[in-house]
A and B are shown apart, each in its own frame.
Chain A
Amino acid sequence: MKRFSELIQQLETSNKTNDKIAALVDYFSNADDRDKPYVIAMFTGKKPKRPVNTALLRSWATELSGIPPWLFQESYSSVGDLSETIALVLPPPEKITDRKLHEWIKDLAALTGKPDDVKKSFILDAWNSLATPERFIFNKLISGNFRIGVSHKMLVNALAKQSDTDSNKIMHSIMGKWQPEAITYEELIEGAHVNTDNSWPYPFCLAYALEMQPEELGDVNDWQAEWKWDGIRGQIVKRNGELFIWSRGEELVTDQFPELHFLKDELEDGTVLDGEILSIKDGNVQVFSILQQRLNRKTINKSQLNDAPVGFYIYDLLEHETQDVRGKTMSERRTLLEEIVSKLLTKDVALLSPVITFNSWAELAEIRQGSREMNSEGIMLKRKDSLYHSGRKRGDWWKWKINPYTVDTVMIYAQKGSGRRANFYTDYTFAVRDGEKLITVAKAYSGLTDKEIKEVDSFVKRNSLEKFGPVRTVKPELVFEIAFEGIAESKRHKAGLALRFPRILRWRKDKEAEEINTLEDLRQLLNSTLS
């Protein structure tokens, strides 16, 4: 555990990728072999079942530290991380144990289903035998939320370097289905489990946002254009009579989309498709907010199936007749894909993502203006001779998104951030005008520079009107232009509508609070997207 805690500290205190990779390589070269698969599982978001819930941990920590609950809450607001808050408020440990990471994880897993008093005595004893940094790690093991700025790519690069193995192979291996208690580090690196596992997906090929003029991409004939769909990126795997649907988040979502299960009977074994999961009704792609009703549900009722039927727009073929075809060019893959789709008996559910024909960049730019009517976010550009890369590679695939919607709002609430920004007011709530009143329409965290954050922070501190726990009501004075991707009706929000993916586009220091948009402006926009 101590060694792992050191790793975490090294990862956290460096902001240089090379240093982080060096720290990971060093860790995987020296750590206990039995710990390593657990660490990889944690860094790739494989969460064990939470053995003890947060409310209990909080109450035990509060009790043990002898502070009133409100003071615990204030501390939490300041720290921004529950595991860390608990580690810091507890009294110093009376003994020190150096147990292995995997032993702790196994013991925690064994707590599941035990009565609360058994859980409590185990947790309290653990807290009392760990120093603050290890306590923090221990708490993180319970919650399973380990977010410390190690991307999959970074982890894979480190593992590849440490084991002198090809990084694509490792990406495959760690993305598949495996349990840390049932696999050794060597087996994981070699991908021993991958061949026997029908479900494993390929790493998605990702696109960069196009920041230049499309003319700079050269000859239009070298490029294929498609709509950029606003759904869930998905990979459909059919092997040995089994069907698996993976989402971009590397989650298996097969059960959530029964409409696509026919592919189990209609696709050949050894076929892997890449595409977009969308809600498609009467041949039209519906807006994301409709698809959203279908996500992360354990059961799906009839009306949901009826209102938000799911379809799949296929844009690539990764495995054909059990062969990995990612090394073929996109034109070759597209030809094979068209053949596969044409053989499907069930029509209109799994479709080819249409290719846009265009003769000049100017023509494509014009077509792109119509993206919103298609409920698309813009255009995807893919080089016809491009291979299917693992992850992001600059130059072959580009997303050319349409500009977002924007609205001018005034900031009315501010809250301190969490993580890196826990001591600054960084989370803001914005409102538009509705007659004499201000109505909240969005909450946003990102989009300002550190310098601007400091400036807003100082404004908040000087201009707060009221205090509700960590939230401050602020004099409505600062105007921000909020960008968003879509708008939907919402019964939960006072405004009766909700903005999708709102973020701060810029701080409009040139505008006064009187000049902001009205709720009526947004209602009109909503009606125009629904019709």
Chain B
Amino acid sequence: MSLIKFTNKGIYCEQGRFYIDPWQPVDLAVTTHGHADHVKWGNKAYLCHELTKPILHQRLGTDLVIETLPYNKQIDINGVKLSMFPAGHVIGSAQIRLEYKGEICVVSGDYKVEFDGISTPFEPVKCHTFVSESTFGLPIYKWQPQDIIFNQIRNWVSDNRDKGKTSVLVAYSLGKAQRLIKNLADYCEIYVHNSIANLNEGFVKAGVDLPDTIRITPELKKEALQQGIVIVPPAMAEGKWIKTLQQAATGVCSGWMQVRAGRRWRSADAGFALSDHADWPGLLSAIEATEAEKVFVTHGFTATFSKYLNEIGIASEEVKTQYGNEEEEEPTPTTIEAN
């Protein structure tokens, strides 16, 4: 009997009687990471990595039953051995490894293989069945090393300063924002939107080594912002507040910026192809490293990616899930009132 089932509530482990990243309320939700499309409100209990706990509190409130695990520590749930391995996607993101009677299954959630400077790096786990995303599962998506991208961002910021423009980077509040902060804090002062500042506080309390940033308040001098970098979540990118800045130049940081159409659709002044998801070679190398006999593809270019895996001799199937909209489902942040 298979270790996991794809049900209308989410990925279910019948032997262990728990769900992984369910989208409808269940008794026990094992959670891969804190993005909104993987964590829903209303579960009786959550099991996640230690560093995902502050995110859940931040996003779903304090009235939650949360059990945590560190990476590489095995527990037993109704006879199923469960452990978590780093997925490298965002801080606290975990691949869930299940073992039952010698059968091993890994549900990876979202992942990337490149080390981003702040999330624990991705670790391949050998298994029989692997559940993979395919957000960027087309051969057009091949990321540049992040050092190159960060240099591009620094040059862009310096260019903006010279032109009297304020650099506004658009990035998800969970993951991309911390990655930018970690890699750019030595370059200049960083100003962050409330939703990012709140998450950062939780991370710092939990012991994450995150550089200091300044929370954006209406009292801040616009001249000061112009000399630094402003980071806001996507929902704020076209908001009124941005327009009050001194000639804001917006730079969107997302894998979709790899393609010109993506850059133009967002009507940003600059696009940086910086992603927290694996690129095409990343997906393939990760899957090969698992030596899995069967790969389920849950979200992204599922049909294409799954077809390709079958062609190269890896048995694969696409599965319909409700993952893959971390941007659209990000909670709408509160606006900043201009003076």
Contacts and interface: CB of A to CB of B under 8 A. Distances in A.
Interface string A1-34: 0000000000011110000000000000000000
B264 A12 contact: yes
B139 A79 contact: no
B308 interface: yes
A423 B263 contact: no
A411 B247 CA distance: 42
A14 B261 contact: no
Given A71-B139, A75-B140, A420 B269 contact: no
A12 B260 contact: yes
A157 interface: no
Contacts of A100: none
A198 B158 CA distance: 51
A13 B263 contact: yes
B304 interface: yes
A423 B256 contact: yes
A67 B268 CA distance: 32
B326 to A, nearest CB: 15
Interface string B295-339: 000000101100110010000000000000000000000000000
Interface stretch (A81-89, A488-496, A517-525): A81-89
B312 to A, nearest CB: 10
Contacts of A89: 139-140
Q: How large is the interface on A (under 10, 10 to 19, 20 to 34, 35 or more residues)?
A: 20 to 34
Contacts of A75: 138-140
A84 B260 contact: yes
Interface in A412-448: 417-424
B138 A74 contact: yes
A67 B139 CA distance: 8
A351 B269 CA distance: 51
A13 B269 contact: yes
A74 B304 contact: yes
B151 interface: no
B42 interface: no
B311 A68 contact: yes
Contacts of B303: 467
Contacts of A13: 263, 268-271
A79 B269 contact: no
A78 interface: yes
A424 B264 CA distance: 13
B275 interface: no
A65 interface: yes
Interface string A453-484: 00000000000000100000000000000000
B304 A71 contact: yes
Contact of A423 (B265, B267, B268): B265
B258 interface: yes
Interface string A219-262: 00000000000000000000000000000000000000000000
Interface in B241-285: 256, 258-265, 267-271
A73 to B, nearest CB: 10
A80 interface: yes
Nearest to B263: A13
Contact of B261 (A15, A65, A68, A80): A80
Contacts of B141: 88
A423 B261 contact: yes
Contacts of B140: 75, 78-79, 85, 88-89
A88 B264 contact: no
B271 A84 contact: no
A520 to B, nearest CB: 39
Contacts of B128: none
Nearest to A88: B140
B267 A15 contact: yes
A75 B270 CA distance: 23
B294 interface: no
Contacts of A417: 261
Contacts of A65: 139
A422 B265 CA distance: 9
A353 B268 CA distance: 47
A74 B138 CA distance: 8
Interface in A342-385: none
Given A74-B304, A75-B138, A88-B142, A422 B271 contact: no
Given A13-B271, A71-B308, A418 B261 contact: yes
Contacts of A14: 269
A499 B277 CA distance: 45
A81 B256 CA distance: 15
A420 B261 contact: yes
B263 A79 contact: no
Given A74-B304, A89-B139, A419 B264 contact: yes
A419 B270 CA distance: 16
Contacts of B261: 79-81, 417-423
Nearest to B251: A13
Nearest to B270: A13
A85 B261 CA distance: 11
A461 to B, nearest CB: 11
Contacts of B142: 88, 92
A78 B259 contact: yes
A422 B259 contact: yes
Please indicate which of the listed interface residues B260, B262, B264, B265 has the most CB atoms of chain A within 10 Å of its own CB: B260
B258 A88 contact: yes
Nearest to A92: B142
A152 B333 CA distance: 42
Contacts of A92: 142
Interface in A78-119: 78-81, 84-85, 88-89, 92
Contacts of A68: 308, 311
Nearest to A80: B261
A421 B262 CA distance: 8
Interface in B178-235: none
The residue in A12, A13, A417, A418 that gathers the most chain B C-beta atoms within 10 A of its C-beta is A13
Contacts of B258: 88
Contact of B265 (A71, A74, A85, A420): A420
Contacts of A88: 139-142, 258-259
A467 B303 CA distance: 11
Contacts of B262: 422-423
A77 B262 CA distance: 13
Interface string B156-173: 000000000000000000
Given A67-B139, A79-B259, A92-B142, 19 more contacts: A15-B267, A65-B139, A70-B307, A71-B138, A74-B304, A78-B301, A81-B261, A84-B260, A89-B139, A89-B140, A419-B261, A420-B264, A420-B265, A422-B261, A423-B256, A423-B261, A423-B265, A424-B265, A467-B303
20 contacts: A13-B263, A15-B264, A67-B139, A71-B139, A74-B304, A75-B139, A75-B140, A79-B140, A79-B259, A80-B261, A88-B142, A89-B140, A92-B142, A419-B264, A420-B264, A421-B261, A421-B265, A422-B265, A424-B265, A467-B303
Which 6 pairs across A and B sit closest by C-beta, in order of nearness? Answer: A422-B261, A88-B140, A420-B264, A75-B140, A74-B304, A89-B139
